[in-house]
C-alpha cells in the first residue's frame, strides 16, 4: 500500500502540528477573548467524539506528529477523557505527542486520568495570581479552582507550561512576579501578545502590550539567555539565570513568526482553518460524512495545503479598529 503523502503547503512548510478544538464552550468569559453573553454552537453542529477521533487518525496518517486538544475549554466537554484515552494509544504509533490547553478550572478532577491516558505535558492559561484581577479578567471568581487544578497536575506528574496574555494596565506590573512564581513551581511560562480575534466589549488597543517592551523590562531585572528549547509552536524561549526557569515569547504582532509555521487548526464543527489569522478554510465535516470519507478527507487536506497563506495579517495599531477576524479564538481553537 502506498504511504499517504505528508502535508506540505505551497511554501514548502511541512505541517506536523494539529490543534483540534473539541468544544467552543468555556466556563470562563475572559474579557479579551469573548463577550460576557457569548453565543455558543448548537450541539447538533459539533463533531461527535467518534468523528473527532476518526479525523485525528486521518491527520496522523498524513504526517501529523503532535496533536493538541483545545477549546473553548476542552474539559467541559462530556466524556472528553474517552477521546484523550483513545488518542493516547496512538502515541508511539504515528503520534509523538498528545497535549491539551486548559484553563485548569476542572483540572483537579481530570489531572490523574489525563496523565494515565498518556498526556505528559499541558498548557494552562493563567494571566494573574491576584484574585480580584482574575475575577475582572475572567468574569468569574475561579482562581482558587485553577490553583487547585495546577497542584493536581503537578502531583500527577504532568509537565505544566503557563500561558499568560500580556495586558497593558491589567497584569503588566505582575508579570515578573508571575514568572518567578511559575519557575518556583517548576513550571515554564510563555507570554503572548493579545490577538485581535472576535468582537469583545473592550477596545483591545487599550490593553495591547508589545512583548518587546516587556522583554526590555525583564532584561533590566534578570539575565535572559536565548534557549534552543522548542515545543513545536511559535514561541521563542529564554533561560533566566536568577530564577532557574524558562520563558517563551509569542509575538504575532511585533515579530511575525509565520515563515516556520507548521500548524493547522480544526474547529469543533470540523472546519479546518489553514491560518489562525485568515479565513481560508476547508469543510472536513462534510468529508467525514460523505459516501467515501477517507478519500474525501485526503482531498480536503490536499486543498488545505494549497490555500494556506504565507502569513497572517494581525495588527492592533489604532484605537477603535475592528478585529482582524470576526470569529473568536474560542471558536477557532486556541
- Separation between Cα atoms, residue 88 and residue 99, nearest integer Å: 9
Angle at 189 between CA 186 and CA 193, to 5 degrees: 175
Residue 68 annotated as lining a ligand binding site? yes
Residue 330 annotated as lining a ligand binding site? no
Residue 258 annotated as lining a ligand binding site? yes
Residue 245 annotated as lining a ligand binding site? no
Residue 186 annotated as lining a ligand binding site? no
Residue 26 annotated as lining a ligand binding site? yes
| 154 alpha-carbon distance from chain centroid | 20
Residue 261 annotated as lining a ligand binding site? yes
Which residue matches cell numbers 515554564? 188
- Separation between Cα atoms, residue 32 and residue 34, nearest integer Å: 6
Contact 273, 267 (CB under 8 A): yes
- Separation between Cα atoms, residue 127 and residue 171, nearest integer Å: 7
- Separation between Cα atoms, residue 251 and residue 270, nearest integer Å: 27
Residue 227 annotated as lining a ligand binding site? no
Residue 313 annotated as lining a ligand binding site? no
Residue 331 annotated as lining a ligand binding site? no
Contact 120, 159 (CB under 8 A): yes
Give phi and psi for 18, each to the nearest 5. Answer: -110, 130
Strands 236-240, 224-226: pairing kind:
antiparallel
From residue 92, how far is each of 87, 257, 305 by CA, in Å?
11, 29, 25
- Separation between Cα atoms, residue 88 and residue 92, nearest integer Å: 9
Strands 159-166, 188-193: pairing kind:
parallel
Residue 72 annotated as lining a ligand binding site? yes
Which residues face 248 on adjacent strands?
A: 190, 237
- Separation between Cα atoms, residue 54 and residue 68, nearest integer Å: 15
Residue 192 annotated as lining a ligand binding site? no
- Separation between Cα atoms, residue 110 and residue 69, nearest integer Å: 14
Residue 101 annotated as lining a ligand binding site? yes
Residue 43 annotated as lining a ligand binding site? no
Residue 106 annotated as lining a ligand binding site? no
Q: Which residues are annotated as a binding site for S-adenosyl-L-methionine?
A: 32, 72, 125, 195
Q: Which residues are annotated as a binding site?
A: 19, 26, 30, 32-33, 68, 72, 101, 125, 161, 195, 258, 261, 263-265, 275
Q: Which residues are annotated as a binding site for [4Fe-4S] cluster?
A: 26, 30, 33, 258, 261, 275
Q: Which residues are annotated as a binding site for GTP?
A: 19, 68, 101, 161, 263-265
Amino acid at each position: 500500500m502506498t504511504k499517504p503523502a505528508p502535508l506540505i503547503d505551497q511554501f514548502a512548510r511541512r505541517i506536523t502540528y494539529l490543534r483540534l478544538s473539541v468544544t467552543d464552550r468555556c466556563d470562563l468569559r475572559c474579557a479579551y477573548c469573548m463577550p460576557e453573553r457569548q453565543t455558543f454552537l448548537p450541539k447538533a453542529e459539533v463533531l461527535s467524539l467518534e468523528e473527532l477521533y476518526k479525523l485525528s487518525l486521518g491527520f496522523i496518517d498524513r504526517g501529523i506528529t503532535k496533536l493538541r486538544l483545545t477549546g473553548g475549554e476542552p474539559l467541559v466537554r462530556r466524556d472528553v477523557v474517552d477521546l484523550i484515552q483513545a488518542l493516547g494509544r496512538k502515541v508511539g504509533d504515528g503520534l509523538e505527542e498528545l497535549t491539551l490547553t486548559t484553563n485548569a478550572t476542572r483540572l483537579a478532577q481530570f489531572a490523574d486520568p489525563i496523565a494515565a491516558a498518556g498526556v505528559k505535558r499541558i498548557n494552562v492559561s493563567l494571566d494573574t495570581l491576584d484574585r480580584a484581577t482574575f475575577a475582572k479578567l475572567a468574569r468569574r471568581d475561579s482562581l482558587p479552582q485553577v490553583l487547585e487544578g495546577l497542584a493536581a497536575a503537578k502531583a500527577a506528574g504532568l509537565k505544566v507550561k503557563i500561558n499568560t496574555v500580556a495586558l497593558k494596565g491589567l497584569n503588566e506590573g505582575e508579570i515578573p512576579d508571575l514568572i518567578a512564581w511559575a519557575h518556583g513551581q517548576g513550571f515554564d511560562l510563555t507570554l503572548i501578545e493579545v490577538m485581535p480575534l472576535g468582537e469583545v466589549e473592550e477596545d483591545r488597543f487599550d490593553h495591547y502590550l508589545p512583548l518587546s517592551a516587556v522583554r526590555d523590562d525583564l532584561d533590566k531585572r534578570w539575565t535572559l539567555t536565548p534557549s534552543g528549547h522548542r515545543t513545536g509552536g511559535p514561541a521563542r524561549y529564554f533561560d533566566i539565570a536568577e530564577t532557574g526557569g524558562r520563558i517563551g515569547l509569542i509575538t504575532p504582532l511585533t515579530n511575525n513568526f509565520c515563515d516556520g509555521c507548521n500548524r493547522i487548526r480544526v474547529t469543533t464543527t470540523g472546519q479546518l482553518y489553514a491560518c489562525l489569522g485568515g479565513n481560508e478554510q476547508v469543510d472536513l465535516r462534510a468529508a467525514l460524512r460523505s459516501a467515501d470519507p477517507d478519500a474525501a478527507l485526503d482531498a480536503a487536506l490536499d486543498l488545505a495545503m494549497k490555500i494556506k497563506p504565507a502569513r497572517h495579517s494581525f495588527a492592533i495599531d489604532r484605537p477603535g479598529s475592528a478585529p482582524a477576524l470576526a470569529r473568536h479564538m474560542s471558536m477557532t481553537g486556541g
